[in-house]
Each structure stands twice: as structure tokens, then as C-alpha cells.
Chain A
Amino acid sequence: MFATEPNPKDNPSAGPVSSQWPPIGQTEVVGSLDVTVVVPVQSGDAEVRQVLQALGCELDREGRSWEMIFVFDGVQGPAWEKVEALRSEYGRKVRTIHFKNPFGESVCLSAAVEKALGRIIVTSPQYVQVDPIELGDMLDEIDRGADFVAPWRHPRVDPVLNRVQSVLFNFVIRMIIGMRFHDLNCYFRAIRREVLEEVVIYGDMYRFLPVIAFRRGYRVVEVKVRHLQEWGRAGFFGLGVYVRRLLDILAVMFLTKFTLKPLRFFGTLGGLVTLSGTMLTAYLTIEKLVYNEGIAGRPLLLIAVLLIVLGVQIIGFGLVGEIIIYSQARNLKEYRIERIWE
């Protein structure tokens, strides 16, 4: 699916590499480093040098050993050459993973975790979005026992319109999922390695990683961070973006709350629809019997019957969901044990 640290001999288009990888030594052991910074590179103009210097300086100052993995998500362009230059400069501290096609940030992160040596994974956007000073505090939270540190950009510096939309998005999330996260749209996160080994993410789940980790029973801490700059478009996004966000929320809500009991979800939804249809039918029946009005040609009757039929169909889907879960996921655990005292 993807090529890891491509050998320039196989792939001449990858650009010149001045220094080869050092031979694999004793340090190539998972957990031998404190921190692995994962940077999914989404576009050719990524500020890889700035990110490396800002975070690297801060990590050195904190006295933590680190490495940085740039995951090129099907991206060519100047960023690639820049990283090659950094690699010759920093040696083993800079590593790259290269996808031939864009797979999205979730897959980037999963691939990087496979290769990462650090005990803590820090994800960063491809530019210096948040004051690197905050990284120290975030890592301290992990040392204090948190499994996942989510950032909260406060105060924010991007245009008001973006902020309003972001606040709205997070508010909807809070309402639907019932958790108090303020800022899911900032990807500057510090995560204990075990969390990412346990929680499998795919598709657009990257954004919801704190929510998923929380539902899986990990301790998620939110810290306020200073916002430096924001890339991306100002103003309104395309309609497609809003629709996709809405679908994401629906998927996350369904998967985090109802994976093991699909009928509870479909049954409640279908029950409500059927109930509304039944109430309309009851109303029409009263009209017919008490007031003796003809109801035959009324659209309301058809709507009522349609609602009942729709509700029953939704419940039917829930039944198939139960069969799927029973037959495919019999050993799925719904709990996470913190500790056992034997």
C-alpha cells in the first residue's frame, strides 16, 4: 500500500539523498525514544523546516530524545526536497514515509505509529500552528498520567467567520456525543503510544481521535494552547464540507455508542418514526369515527402509513446489525480494565 523510506535507487524521482540511513543499531527499539513527532504532509508548500526547528528546539530544551516522521500523503513538490535536505542535516532524527496516493491523515498516523520508536506520539500539522512552548506542558500532562492530551486553541487568531464555524461544529459534537471537547479541529496532540496501538482509526476519524480515545476509556486531558497562525481557507467552505462533517459526526456517534448494540440505535429511531405515524393514524381514525369525516383521499393518511412503514424498515436494519455484530464480533470487549489486583 505504501513505500516506507524509499530507496533512491528504486525511485530516482524521489530526489537526491546525500546521506544514507545509518545501519540499524541498538536504538531501533520501540520505546527507546521519548517522543515521536508525526507530521502528515498534505501539500507541497509545507513548512517542514520551521516545524522541525520549532518542535525540535523545544524537545531538546525539555531534554527529551525525539525523532520526527514526515508522512508524505501522496505529495510531491518543494516539501520533499526540503525534507531530504533536513535528513542529511539531522540524520536519524528525521524519517519519512511516502505514500504514492493520498490516503488521508488517519492512515498517515497509523503508518507512522508502525514505524515510530517514541513512547509518546505527538502529531503536528504541517506548519507551526501552535506555540511550541506548549509542547512541554502537554508532555508534562502525559507524565502526570494522561493518555491523550488534546489542545484547545484559546484565544484563536484566525478569521472570525472560521472561529464561529469551528465553535458551532464543536458545540454540535458536544450535544450529540455528550462530551466536553472545545477544539477538535486542532491536530497538535500528544498521545501515549498504547492508545494508538489499541484504537484503530481510518477514513476521517483523525479529527475525532480524542472522542474515540475517551470512549475507549482512556484519560483525555484538554489544555489551552496559544494559537500562532492558521492555514486553510477563510470564510465559508463548500457545501460538501459541511455535509461531510455532519456524516462524520453521525458515524462517530454511532460507532462509539452503538457498535455493540445496533438495535438500540435503529430501534429507537425506527420506533420514534413508527410512533409518529401511529399518532397520525390515530388522529385520522378519530376524525373518521367521531366527526365522520372522509379520510380516504387525504395525503395525511398516506404520510402516516409511509412513516409506519419507514419506521419498521429502520428497525429491520437494526436486526441485521445485531446479526452482524453477533456473528463477526463475538469477542469485542466493551470495557477497558485499568488494573487488576490479583
Chain B
Amino acid sequence: MRIAGCIAILVVITGAALAADIPQSDRRSGTSFMGPDSKAMQDDDTANPGMLWVLDGEALWKRKAGTADKACADCHDDARTSMKGVAARYPAFARALGKPIDLEQRINLCRSNHQQATPFAYESHELLALTAFVAEQSRGMPIATGDDPELAPFIERGHALFMQRQGQLNLGCANCHNDNWDRKLAGSPITQGQPTGYPLYRLEWQSLGSLQRRLRACITGIRAQAYDYGSPELVELELYLMTRARGMTMETPAVRP
């Protein structure tokens, strides 16, 4: 009995040592890993290229579209009040669909159901612009994703995907973002993989990009098969990352190298 108990405890301890979640007090946004130039660019709205998408998003918010000939603003009014805090709790559980959806999918649902317009393609300028505009209304607020109990099994699946080793390099997200975030991969700092600033302007992309684009880049980096945009797996990963980041500050539109 006692030996079995000891073994069980040992297993728990080594398991924790190998892939320990980051303690709350050690959590850091990708921003804190950047050099002063990129930080200055993020902090100054007149220098932050992401603000161009936010401005376009604001124009789209007010523009009538689709057979319904309605603008987002016709239903939601002033985004500064109606959209405050919304992005900070996405992905959220969509009861009609029985699964979580991310902010891009929520925007496209409004487009098809309420505006009766064709959904925007993933990474299209319009979808990035509207998402950035909506998410910017939560800038400075704490992330609050994951309250709905219906989300629990999906968060668990996202967590499993985060831990899973995959690809020709046989690495899991946790190997880098939980276990080695204070280190460097070739020249780049390995951050904690926090989702605080999306959509964000990445200098390497010369564009704004979604969290799903970033996840697909890491998955391809370990030479695994990237999940399709909008796939349940990517939404589950986004959901897990956002619940992992609960309480951290929303920074959309952030800048990254």
C-alpha cells in the first residue's frame, strides 16, 4: 500500500516537472520578450500598423451589407460600449452549434445570419479588420474566457492538443511554451505562447494576422500537418490558450517580430 502510494506520488511529481503549467505569477505576454523598438511601435497608436486595420474595421462596422442591407452598427450600435469586453471572453460556446466558436466565426455568423451576406474568408483584410476593431474594444481588459461550463470538454481537448507531441520533429506546444519559454530557439526568444494580442501585426508577415495563422505557423514549424482554418482543433487550441491566459491583459492590436 505504502509503496504503491509512493509510486503514485512520484508519478504525479515527475509528470508535473516535465510539463508544468506556468505559475500565475510568472505569466508574461509576448510583448515583454520584445526589443524596445517593437514595444514602442506597439504602444504608440500612430506608429502601430495594426491601427490601420482597426480603422478599416470601424468603417466596415458602419457599412450596410448583404441582402438584409444592415450594418453591424444597426444591431449593435456603438461598438465602444456594445463590444467592450466581448473579445476578452472568446472563444465562447455557441448553443445553436453545440460547440465553441472564435471571434472570427462569430463575426461571420452575424454576416450570414443577420446581414445575409457571404462570410469573409479567413485572413481576408475585411475579417481581420472587423476582428481587430471588435477586439480593440477590449484593450486593457482582463481575459475572461472559459466561464461557461459547457466549454469544459472543449478546453480539455485543447489542453490535450497543446500537450501532444506531433510532427517530424515530435514536439508538443508545451515543450517550448511551458518548459522552455525563458530560452532561445536559434536567435528568437521562445515566448509563453500567450494569445493576448490577436489579431496582431507581425513584422515577419508584413501584415495583421489571426491567432489561427500563428498556431498554423508553429504546427508547420514542427513539421506536423497544419489544421485547416476554422477546424475544431484550432478553435479548441485558441480556447485553451485563452483560458490559460485568464486575467492577463488584452493588447489587440499587438506587434510581434
The judgment on whether A and B are partners is no
